[in-house]
Amino acid sequence: MTTTELDYSSDGIVQLMRTPEEERSLQWLKDALQQAIMLELATLPPYLCGWWSLLEDTESGRAAAKAIGAIVYDEMSHLGHVCNMLTTIGGSPRLAHESVLAPYPCPLPGGVKPKINPELEVFLSGLTKESVKMFSEIEAPEKPLATFGADEETFQSIGLFYTAILEAFEQHKGEIRGTRQVTWDMKGQGEGNSLFAIGKFEDAEHAIEIIKEQGEGTDQTPENKFPGYKGELSHYYVFREIFRGQKLIKIQETPPKWDFQGDAVPMPNARPMGKVPKGGWAKTKDTVPGAAVKVELDKFNLAFSEMLRSLEKAWQQDNEKDVAAHMIAAIYTHMYALREPAIKLMEMPLPQDRKKSYGPEFRYVLPKS
């Protein structure tokens, strides 16, 4: 595999994981980190759609909004940590390119097929039982402390891929240069979410610890070791509580055991965003958008694409002032411009199914000339 192979639909991660450990070169590490960027980019849009769709008109809605909002900030920081890990070894993250973005609905990138659900399809919709089940399957650890069900067995996880990346970092720790690092203070959004420079192996080790434990938890506890609020669970368990409809509680001390036997977790009310069809709403005759919908879709897709372009540029700069300028544009101009058109779209009914609504497509578009 080479750095020019950036096709989302390739089996890049599968091929990387098949490479014997002793043959995992510096180029292998760069390629693996770019694939990790694609993984992080693939999970953010579905989580954002679920978050934005929530109606905070009930206690369960407010709790879900708080929990999923915290997950979104975690995932944003994971993307930043991975970009820092790539630039510190001389790589350059690719974010602003159609080929690295998920063509929803689609599998996870790189040929990843979790054993728990080899047919996993990542899609964009409002928050539903089906979508939170999909979220939890994305985040599932190798050995969950509380199971999916009677048919569960051990399976491959994204965490195992990050473990392989960490092992390769240890082999190539002499290549860590500390170049083109983006630091960003996100205090108040989670203990592990502020971006820090990767200047030595221990920094990479800490970044990967944050990514894995915020998503999966540990083999000892389902709690998020780097929480945004007191008692926050790791992502997998947050989503499973919503799906199972019950709180996760500790039911045995020795050995420690948890299960979904706590208080009821009612399914929150949500805007009825339908599933975005392959290629976008315009690709299906029953969902072709009218003029008003198209205005909001274009507004959203342009802001999303400008955000990616600004982020990519941030990791190409040597001067701290230039880095800050691109990060400020990405976060405070383009990212903040996403929510309004997204919610407007979720309140615009589909022409052939008035019980369902439009929603954002997260499609990459070129800048306006």
DSSP codes joined into one string, 124-158: --SS-HHHHHHHHHHH--SS-SS-S-TT------H
Residue 358 predicted with pLDDT over 90: yes
Distance CA(235)–CA(350), nearest Å, equals: 31
pLDDT digits (tens, 9 = 90+) for 104-127: 999 999 988 776 788 899 999 999
pLDDT at 2 over 60: no
Confidence of residue 319 (pLDDT cuts 50, 70, 90): very high
The CA distance from 225 to 237, in Å, is 13
240 pLDDT band, cuts 50/70/90, is very high
* DSSP per-residue letters across 173-190: GGG----S---B--TTS-
Q: What band does 160 get if pLDDT is binned at 50, 70 and 90?
A: confident
pLDDT of residue 218: 58
* Unique residue bearing structure tokens 């700069």: 317
As a whole number, mean pLDDT of residues 262-271 equals 97
pLDDT per residue over 322-339, tens digit each? 999 999 999 999 999 999
pLDDT of residue 189: 65
pLDDT band at 255 (very low <50, low <70, confident <90, very high): confident
Residues 6+ apart with CB under 8 A from 162: 36, 208, 211, 212
